Structure 1
Amino acid sequence: MDVVKIRMQVYKTGLVDTTKNTIKEQGPLGLYTGLSAALLRQITYTTARIGFFNTLSDICEKHLGRLNYPTLVSLGMIAGMIGALIGTPADVVMVRMIADVHLPPEKRRGYKHAVNGLIRIAKEEGVLRLWTGSIPTTGRAAIANGAQLGTYSRSKMFLKDSGLLEEGLLLQFIASLMSGIVAATASLPIDIAKTRAQNWKESGKPPSVGRMLLMISKGEGPRALWRGFLPYYARIAPNTVITMVCMDQLTRLYLTHIRR
C-alpha cells in the first residue's frame, strides 16, 4: 500500500493504473519495493513514538489523573514528532527506492537496500540530506499520531464508559479502526507534501510545506491533497490495528508475568 500510495502521489496516477503498471513493470514483488527501508522506518519511528507516548501518558496520569482527549492528542503529537525525527532517514530512503523505477535510467539511485541508501546519501549528498523533508515529516507525524494515539486511547475510554464493550481484543480492534480513519483523513495532505519534498528533483531546495500544499492545490485541485486515500487508509488501518492490539497485549503480558 505504501508503494502504491507514494507512486500515486509522485506520478499523479490513479489507484488501479498505478497498481497495474507496478505489477506489469516489476512483477508482484514490485509492490514490496523498498521493504528493507520500510522495516527500518518501523523499527526506528514506531518504537520511538509508541514508547514516548506511553511514557508521557504514564507521567501525566500520575500528576493529572485521567487524561482528556485534547491532552491525549497533544501527547500523541509530541511523541510523533520525536519518532519522526528519528525515523526520517529511513523514510527518505524508502521514498526514493519506491520512486526510483519511473526515473530515467541515468537518474536512478539504485540503492541495494536501506543501509546502502543511508550510506550513499551521507557520502554523496551530505549527512543532513538524510533529514530532507523532516519538517513535513514531523508535521505529518504530529497530526497522524495525535489523531491515532489520542483517538485510540479516547475511543477505548468511550466504549468502556458507555458499556458497549469491555476490555479485550474486540475493544482494541474497534478503537484501532476508529483512530485509523481519523489519522488517515487528517494527515494525508501533509504526507503528500512530504513525499513530493523527499523526491524533489528540481534545482534548489524543495518548497516549504505550506507552499507545497498551495502548489498542489492550485495546480491539481484541492482533491489532490487526498490523492491516494484508499491505499493510505488500507495501509494505515491494518497497521494501526496490529500495532495497537499488539502493544496492549504485550503490555498486559508484561504486567501479568514479568512486572509483578
Structure 2
Amino acid sequence: MSASITDAKVPPFVNFVIGAISGVAAQVPTHPMDVLKIRMQVSRNTLRNTVLQTFRTSGVFGFYTGLSAGLLRQLTYTTSRLGIYTTLFDIAEQHFGRLNYATMISLGMVAGVMGSFVGTPTDLVLIRMVADIHLPAEKQRNYKNAIHGIVNVWKTEGFTRLWRGAVPTMGRAAVVNGTQLGTYTRAKMLLEDTAYIKNDIQLQFAAAMMSGIVTCFASIPIDVAKTRIQNLKQFTRSPTVVATIINITKTEGLTSLWRGFLPYYSRAAPNTVITMVCVDQLHKIYLKIFSR
C-alpha cells in the first residue's frame, strides 16, 4: 500500500473505491471457503462431511450460498476498513514519517472496528443464509438474498437486531485488521529492506501470505464465537463473546475454538493475497494515470 508509494498520495475517496473493488475481487473465488468455515463452526462436522453435505443438499451452487450477502459485505465492511486504513496510514506517514509495527497494527485495528460496525448487518445475514442447512425445514429462515434478509430481520426482530453480534464482530475485526493490514505493511517493508524479493507482485504475494498466517491463528477463536452468536434464533439478549468462548471450551474442548481453521485459512490466505495485491496495483494504476 502506501509503503510503496513515494510522494504522491491517493485521495481518500479513491481509497474507498479501491477497497470496494479489491474486496469484491477477492470474495468471489474464496466464497466457498467462507461457506464451509461457517457451517463447520455452527456444527461439529468435519471438513469432509461438510463438503459432502453441502454438495448433496445443493450441488455445486451450494458452495455459493449467501454470495449476495458476501458481496454486499465487501461493499460495506471491506470498503470501509481498507479506505480508512489507507487514508489513516497516508496521514500518519506524512506527519510522522516511516511508521513502526505497533502503529500499523493500531491503525488497522481502528479501521477494522469502524468498518465492521458498518458491515455487521450483512455479516449477520451471510451467516444465517449459510447456516440454514443445519436447521429443521420449518425453522429455516430462507432469505432469498442479502436485501431480503436485512429487511426480514428488521421487520421480524427489530432494526437494532441487525447489529446482533456487533461487539464480537468488532473485536474480531480489530484482531483481523490489526494483524492483517499491519503485518502486511510491515512484512512488505522488511522484504523490501532486505532485497530478498524485488518483483512487485512477488513481494506483495509473500507479504500477504505471511500476514494471512498471523491473522488466522490470532482471530479464529473470536470468529467461532461471533458465528455462534449471530446464528442464534432466540430474541433474548445475546451472550458475550467471552462467555461464548468459555462455554465452547467447557463443552467442546479448547481445540474447538480453532474449528474450521483449514477452510478459514484456505479462504483467508487467497483472500488476503487478492485483496492486498489489488489494492497495491490499483493504487499504482491510479497514480500512473492521474499524477502526471
Q: TM-score, normalised by structure 2?
A: 0.87
CA distance in 2, matches of 1:234, 1:80: 21
1:14 to 21, 29, 46: 46
Q: Is residue 226 from structure 1 mapped to residue 258 from structure 2 by the alignment? A: yes
Q: How many residues align?
A: 260
Q: Is residue 85 from structure 1 mapped to residue 105 from structure 2 by the alignment? A: no
Give the equivalent residue in structure 2 for 1:4.
36
Structure 1 gap segments, 5+ residues each: none
Cα RMSD (Å): 1.0
For 1:5-154, list aligned pairs within 5 A.
5-154=37-186
1:178 to 210, 220, 227: 210
CA distance in 1, matches of 2:142, 2:179: 35
Quote how far apart the aligned CAs of 1:236 are: 0.5
Structure 2 contact 107–178 (Cα < 8 Å) conserved:
yes
Give the equivalent residue in structure 1 for 2:192.
160
CA distance in 1, matches of 2:280, 2:55: 36
Q: Which amino acid aligns with 1:238?
A: P
Structure 1 contact 2–232 (Cα < 8 Å) conserved:
yes
Quote how far apart the aligned CAs of 1:63 are: 1.2
Quote how far apart the aligned CAs of 1:202 are: 4.5
Q: Which amino acid aligns with 1:151?
A: T
Structure 1 contact 160–167 (Cα < 8 Å) conserved:
no
CA distance in 2, matches of 1:170, 1:147: 20
CA distance in 2, matches of 1:46, 1:145: 10
CA distance in 2, matches of 1:79, 1:2: 22
Question: Moved runs in structure 1, 4+ residues, more than 6 A?
Answer: none
Give the equivalent residue in structure 2 for 1:256.
288
Q: Which amino acid aligns with 1:155?
A: A
Higher relative contact order (CA 8 A, sep 6+): 2
CA distance in 2, matches of 1:167, 1:248: 13
Q: TM-score, normalised by structure 1?
A: 0.98
CA distance in 1, matches of 2:143, 2:87: 36
CA distance in 1, matches of 2:235, 2:174: 29
Give the equivalent residue in structure 1 for 2:237.
205
CA distance in 1, matches of 2:128, 2:277: 31
Quote how far apart the aligned CAs of 1:256 are: 1.0
2:276 to 231, 235, 244: 244
- Describe the superposition over 1:59-116 as per-residue Cα deviations: whole angstroms up to 9, x where unpaired: 1111111000000000000001111001100000000000112211221111110000
Q: Is residue 188 from structure 1 mapped to residue 248 from structure 2 by the alignment? A: no
Quote how far apart the aligned CAs of 1:204 are: 2.2
Quote how far apart the aligned CAs of 1:166 are: 2.2
Quote how far apart the aligned CAs of 1:17 are: 0.6
Identity of paired residues, percent? 56
CA distance in 2, matches of 1:148, 1:71: 13
Q: 1:44 to 1:73 in 2, by over 3 A?
A: same
Q: Which amino acid aligns with 1:256?
A: K
Quote how far apart the aligned CAs of 1:165 are: 1.5
Counterpart secondary structure, 1:148 = helix
Q: Which amino acid aligns with 1:97?
A: M
Quote how far apart the aligned CAs of 1:198 are: 0.2
